[in-house]
Structures are given as C-alpha cells and as structure tokens.
C-alpha cells in the first residue's frame, strides 16, 4: 500500500508538470483557436535556455529562472504571436496548425544542429533526499514540484477569475465577436495569452529539466502528453487540463510499475476509448452548444 501511495505521489509530481503544459495549450485554444503543435518545443526551448543561464553562465538560480521566463515570453509569446498568429488566424484554423507544425520542426532541429544532439544533464533543483511522511517515503523533489506547480496554477486561476484582464480572457474564450463589441482589445488579449503560455511552459521546463534530461527531441512526447491530457481532461476548461495532466502522470507512473509492458498500451487504450465514447469533450470538459 505504501508503495502505491509513493507511486501516486510520484505520478502527481510529474503530472503536475504535464498539467502546466496542458493548461497553456488549452488557454491558447480557448482564446485564439490555436492548436499549438509546437507546445512540446515550447518547453524544450526554455529548458535549453535554463541550461545556458544556470549551468553555463552560472547565474544564481532565481536570476536564471527569471531570464529563462523572459526569453521564453519574448520569443515564444510575443514573437510567435506577432509573426505567425496575427497573420494566420484570419485564414481559419488549419494554416496556423501547419505553421505550428513547421515551428516545432524548426525549433527541434535548430537546437539539434546549432547546439547539440546530445542530452545535457541538469542539476536537481530540489534535493532528491528521501523524506519520511508517516509510512510513505517521498523525495523533496516530488513535493517541491507539486507545490511549485500548485502555486503557479493557483496564481493563474486567481488571475483569470479575479482580475479584469483575466475576466476579459474568459469573455474572449466564450464569444470573441461579443467581447470585441464590448470593447475588449482581442488582439492584445491573445498576445497576453501567448505570453502566459510561454511563461507556463518555461516554468514547466525548469521543473522537468532535472527529471528528463535536456535533449532536442523530448518535445515530441511532451507535446503529445499535453495533447492527450487536454483531450482526456477537457479541452475547454483549465481544470480539465489540470485533471488531464495529473491523470496522464499518475497512469504513466503506476502502469510502468504494475502493468507489464505488454498491457500498458492496452490500459491507455481503454481509457482513451472510454473518454471518446462516453464524453468526447473530456472528463471535466463542457459540451459546447452548437447552434
């Protein structure tokens, strides 16, 4: 039993990181109808930035974190929005989807070619010393990840529900035309959403770098997991993405331990089929009214 709890905590720990990426993904979809196929690379790029600032240039941790977030929000937030999104959104969903696919390839192979194809090690931020909580043994890293993610996601939730800007985002997500008529500057809001997403992925990168090793191609599976998380948990609610991320993390960790590799796939399969058949909008998703 203790084993199970430990594994679940480990699953929640990695799941919290997936959730951060999934939430950003869902935010982009909600406010700007952008399916960001480069979301995985949006985590990899800041991870490399973190290596640059923290490991190579030896900035103190907080400074490195800040620098990474700033680089991410400038390049992947404002940069992507102004250069790609503004122009392509008018043409419907698909051209932008293809452009993000191109973007993901661009980031991935640029990092491989111009930096290194090898995996870069990254020091642990939190100590990996085991701590005993009752009968359960966890590491400070796991607790640290969960708390950090909780703070970030909590802050985001507060921003969205309590601030004027956040409520404007909700308005745009629900009805763009109406929001615009109400005087909300939709273009600026989309930029803010992209900036938020870039910040989320940067923070996720900081947490995942010690766990995964920083390599140019980790974006592929990360992006896919963010996508699964959004599908399963709910594509149109933040808490859906949160649930999805946690579920993916927990199922991944538990099935690696308990289910032989033969059936691991089948397990994931069953969950996916169940969600798609029973509730295609996701477990905590909301069925959108079609006219």
Separation of CA 108 from chain center: 17
> Are the beta carbons of 86 and 100 closer than 8 angstroms?
no
Spell 81-108 as b/e; 16+ CB within 10 A means b. beebbeebbeeeeeebbebbeebbeebb
63 binds other proteins per the rule CB under 8 A: no
Q: Which of 61, 109, 133, 150 binds other proteins (CB under 8 A)?
A: 109
> Are the beta carbons of 165 and 159 closer than 8 angstroms?
yes
Residues near 233 by Cβ (< 8 Å), separated by ≥ 6?
Answer: 22, 239, 240, 241, 242, 243, 244, 245, 247, 282, 283, 284, 285
Give me the 259-278 binding string for other proteins, x by CB under 8 A, dash otherwise: ---x--xx-xx--xx-xx--
For residues 243-262, which are near other proteins according to CB under 8 A? 262
Q: Which of 56, 63, 74, 105 binds other proteins (CB under 8 A)?
A: 105
Give me the 189-228 binding string for other proteins, x by CB under 8 A, dash otherwise: -----------------------------------x--x-
Q: Is 78 exposed, middle or buried (0-12, 13-18, 19+ CB in 10 A)?
A: middle
Nearer Cβ to other proteins (33/157) = 33
75 binds other proteins per the rule CB under 8 A: no
Q: Which of 22, 44, 65, 103 binds other proteins (CB under 8 A)?
A: 103
Separation of CA 21 from chain center: 0
Q: Give 139's strand partners.
A: 130
178 binds other proteins per the rule CB under 8 A: no
Contacting residues toward other proteins, per CB under 8 A: 29, 35, 37, 84, 87-88, 91, 93-99, 101-103, 105-106, 109-110, 113, 224, 227, 231, 235, 262, 265-266, 268-269, 272-273, 275-276, 280-281, 290-291
């Amino acid at each position: 039993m203790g084993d199970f709890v430990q594994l679940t905590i480990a699953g929640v720990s990695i799941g919290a990181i997936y959730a951060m990426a999934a939430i950003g993904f869902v935010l982009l979809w909600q406010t700007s109808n952008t399916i960001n196929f480069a979301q995985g690379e949006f985590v990899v790029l800041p991870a490399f930035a973190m290596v640059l600032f923290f490991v190579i240039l030896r900035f103190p941790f907080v400074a490195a974190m800040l620098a990474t977030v700033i680089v991410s929000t400038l390049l992947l937030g404002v940069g992507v929005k102004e250069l790609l999104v503004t122009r392509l959104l008018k043409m419907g969903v698909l051209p932008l989807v293809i452009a993000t696919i191109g973007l993901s390839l661009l980031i991935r192979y640029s990092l491989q070619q111009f930096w290194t194809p090898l995996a870069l090690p990254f020091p642990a931020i939190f100590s990996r010393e085991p701590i005993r909580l009752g009968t359960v043994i966890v590491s400070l890293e796991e607790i640290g990840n969960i708390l950090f993610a909780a703070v970030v996601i909590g802050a985001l939730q507060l921003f969205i529900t309590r601030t004027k800007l956040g409520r404007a985002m909700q308005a745009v997500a629900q009805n763009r035309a109406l929001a615009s008529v109400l005087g909300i500057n939709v273009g600026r809001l989309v930029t803010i959403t992209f900036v938020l997403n870039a910040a989320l992925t940067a923070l996720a990168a900081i947490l995942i770098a010690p766990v995964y090793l920083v390599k140019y191609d980790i974006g592929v599976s990360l992006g896919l997991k963010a996508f699964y998380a959004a599908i399963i948990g709910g594509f149109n609610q933040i808490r859906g993405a949160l649930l999805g991320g946690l579920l993916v993390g927990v199922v991944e960790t538990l099935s690696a331990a308990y289910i032989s590799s033969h059936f691991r796939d089948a397990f994931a399969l069953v969950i996916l089929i169940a969600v798609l058949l029973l509730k295609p909008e996701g477990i905590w998703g909301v069925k959108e009214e079609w006219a």
